[in-house]
Structure 1
Amino acid sequence: MSNTNEHTIQFDAIKTKQELTKGILSEVYTSLVEKGYNPIDQLVGYLISGDPTYITNYNGARSLVRKLERYEILEEVIKSYLNIEDIK
């Protein structure tokens, strides 16, 4: 029996990390909006202080954001802002 999909798939850990970070931040953002918070203010408060109570528990947003390290979030935000793919 022949395998019809014989191409090697390349795994890009950097791209996966970026996508994970973006996905989590998007979900947290949506949860904050749905609860009536200003999501930018809440996320900035969390990133500056490290206090997870800036993030609502609604839809598990607080647990989600805590899966990421704050410095990793900031790294991805700055790279996105400056349109930089990867800093080596």
Structure 2
Amino acid sequence: MTQENLEHTVMFKVEKEEVPKAKEVLLTVYAALQEKGYNPINQLVGYLLSGDPAYITSHKNARNLIRRLERDELMEELLINYLGQK
């Protein structure tokens, strides 16, 4: 490196990873579980209660997708929609 290059500050910007909305995640995971022949409701309840990602298939990246959100965010979305709030 030359002396001139050492005198300039280089800007480095990391883009924030966009976090998907809980509703989108739940619908995507539901569809992936259904496609693989699982009962999506039972599997999602198992995951929400235990936190064990093994309840969610890796088909269509569903397991990685659901782990991007906290379980309480997913439960909040479910309650909001069930109770008709927001």
The TM-score with structure 2 as length reference comes to 0.75
- Per-residue CA deviations over 1:13-38 (Å, capped at 9, x if unaligned) read xxxx8x71111111100100000000
For the residues of structure 1 that align with 2:77 and 2:23, how far apart are their CA atoms? 8
The TM-score with structure 1 as length reference comes to 0.74
Over aligned residues, Cα RMSD in angstroms? Answer: 1.4
Specify the alignment match of 1:59 in structure 2: 60
Gaps of 5+ in 2: 1-18
* Alignment pair present for 1:69 and 2:74: no
Specify the alignment match of 2:15 in structure 1: none
> How many positions carry a matched residue from both structures?
68
Specify the alignment match of 2:39 in structure 1: 38
User: Offset of 1:76 from its aligned partner?
Assistant: 1.0
Gaps of 5+ in 1: 1-16
Off by >6 Å, runs of 4+ in structure 1: none
